[in-house]
Structure 1
Amino acid sequence: MDIDVLGALDVRENGVSIAPTAPKPRQVLALLALHADRVVPVASLIEELWSGRPPRSARTTLQTYVLQLRELIAAALARDPGQQDGAGGQRRTAKEVLLTLPGGYLLSSGGGTIDVREFERLAGLGYRAMDAGDFAGASRTLAAALDLWSGSAFADVHTGTQLAMEAKRLDESRLCALDQRIEADLRLGRHREVLAELTVLTSRYRTHENLHAQFMIALHRSGRRGEALNAYLQLRTTLGRELGLEPSPRLRRLQHSILMSGPETALGPTPPARATRSAPDPDAGPLTPTH
């Protein structure tokens, strides 16, 4: 089974999509797919479907959705009658793909690909490469992780409490990986290559200080000092108007560095890679000019 949740939901058994079009069975499949090979409690599925207000028939209705999913799985398995599992030589059945277990249900991936787990694996490798100072390897690995995304997580699924929380977590993980990939590129001198991307990102994430710091650095290194300073002023205005905050001390040091320095601005030490950050680490040291 191949599972994609980093964008539109797509779950394929034997190469055939088993994703239903009806909203609630699709929600059930999405939550099972995200936690593939692990038991998803009935209570979690009911919470996802009815957000704390389940009907009396909730368990029966959930069982109906599970049966609908098994019908789709059975149809996909039937496309290859010769398919065998790795143990007993027998073709898997729908009940062996979507199992009923004490307390919940389990979707068995059968060793197939799961995009979210591949993203987490590659992102972890990228963060370790950043920690080791291997910026080329970090950029390459984090770019491969980000290429697995085709849109927001569960983009075409109606999300309840559980999936909305998971989608937010995954989107934060994506932003953290993106932040680190851009930082790696800046350390490799690719400031002109990331300018267009940072223009879009700073418009989308209007209060994300680290992205704005990277944008300022890329602009300044490209000989666009005035635009770099204007980016700081725009961020300061946005932070004050929307959050009642001033830019962090580290960002103020960066502004001062650009005011006083020549055409190059160096990045300071790399902040911790595995924590999602909305601003530069104020303890990471000043961003100082190089001449």
Structure 2
Amino acid sequence: MEIALLGPLGARIGQSSVVPSAAKPRKVLALLGLDCGRPVSVSVLVDELWGDRPPRSAEATLHTYVKQLRRLIAHALDSDVPSWSVPEVAPLPAQAVGPRDVLRRVPGGYLLDVPAASTDAARFERLATAGRHALEAGMVAEGCALLVRALRLWRGPVLADVEPGFVLRSEVLRLDELRMAAFEERFDAELRLGRHRAVLGELASLASRFPLHETLHAQLILALHRCGRSWQALETFRTLHRTLVDEMGLEPSPRLQELHAAVLRGDPALESGGTSLPRPLAAR
């Protein structure tokens, strides 16, 4: 079974989708998919579906949604022809011969009994963690490549076609933060490798989407300066400065102001391979 969470919700066995069309069963599948291999309690599922105002029939209705999912799983199992497009995704265990083996009732809740590696979210976290460890070990090119692979798994916002409740919303925020951290680390590595021209367009696009994000702007400023476009680097700083003051009443961080001053004076330290704030500047 393959489950896609980093974008529109997807779940399939072989070539057959098991994603229901109705909104609440989709939420149940999304929550179970995020916790593949781990039980999800009935109370958590009820909180996600109805918040703090569940109907009296909440548990019975939840079981109806589970039965709908099992019917989709049964149909997919009946028509399954092994065709695994992602090498890391393991097929269903040999003992999973029916829908109740895949979506199990366990004490206090339900469990989607498929490997965690069946989800793109789990693969993203594994690759991003490996990339971070490689960078920490000084293997910059290897770490950068792993982070690029991790980020390529994203097809859009987390669960883009599922309206999250309280429980899903917290997980969406967590994955979004992990994605942003991976972007920062990947661009940091690209700049250390001297690939400022290759990432300039992507950096500009992300900085536009996140107009208050200082790290992305610092990386964009450095990339522009290294590409011989210092005037644009300075304009990027001025735009960020205005946005921070107008919307937040804040000045840019000392780290960013130091980078701005270094661009103004044409500090040679900016030309060497380094991060969004070269270490020689940070040490002064």
Instruction: Give the TM-score, by structure 1 length.
Output: 0.88
What does residue 286 of structure 1 align with?
281
In structure 1, the partner of 2:10 is 10
Structure-2 change in CA distance of 1:267 and 1:140 (3 Å): same
CA displacement, residues 59-111 of structure 1 (integer Å, 9 cap, x when unaligned): 110010001101111111111499x9756xx6611111000011110001157
Matched, 1:34 2:4: no
Structure that is richer in helix per residue: 2
| SS at 2:252 equivalent | coil
Cross-structure match for 2:262: 257
Matched to 1:234, the amino acid is: T
Percent identity between matched residues is 48
Offset of 1:285 from its aligned partner? 6.7
Which residue in the other structure is 2:174 paired with?
169
Separation in 2 of the partners of 1:157 and 1:214?
33
Give the 3-state SS of the residue equivalent to 2:281 in structure 1. coil
Aligned length: 275
RMSD: 2.4
Q: What is the TM-score with the length of structure 2 in the denominator?
A: 0.90
Q: Which runs of 5+ in 2 are unaligned?
A: 83-90
Which residue in 1 is equivalent to 2:110? 105
2:131 aligned partner: 126
**Structure 1 residue 179 and structure 2 residue 184: aligned?**
yes
Matches within 5 A, 1:61-210: 61-80=61-80, 92-109=97-114, 113-210=118-215
Name the amino acid aligned to 1:258. V
Distance in 2 (CA, whole Å) between partners of 1:85 and 1:211 is 41
Code of the aligned partner of 2:154: W
Q: Separation in 2 of the partners of 1:111 and 1:211?
A: 31
Which residue, out of 218, 224, 233, partners 2:229? Answer: 224
What residue number does 2:43 align with? 43
Counterpart Cα distance in 2 of 1:86 and 1:47: 30
Structure 1 position 112, deviation (Å) = 6.1
Change (3 A) 1:221 1:111: closer
1:125-147 deviation line (CA, Å, top 9, x unaligned)? 11011112222111111000001
Deviation track 1:264-283 (CA, whole Å, cap 9, x = no partner) reads: 6157976xxxxxxxxx89xx
1:8/1:151 contact within 8 Å kept: yes
Give the counterpart letter for 2:212 in structure 1.
T
SS at match of 1:265: helix
Aligned-partner SS, 1:235: helix
Q: 2 CA distance for matches of 1:66 and 1:261?
A: 63
Shift in alpha-carbon separation, 1:49–1:149, aligned structure 2, 3 A? same
Give, in whole Å, the separation in 1 of the partners of 2:109 and 2:201.
Answer: 47
**Residue type matched to 1:21 in 2?**
S
Q: Which runs of structure 1 show a deviation greater than 4 angstroms over 4 or more consecutive aligned residues? A: 84-87, 266-270
Q: How far 1:286 moved relative to its partner?
A: 2.8
Task: Name the aligned partner's letter for residue 281 of structure 2.
Answer: P
Q: C-alpha distance in 2, partners of 1:169/1:78? A: 36
Q: Which residue of 2 aligns with 1:274?
A: none
Give 1:23's aligned residue.
23
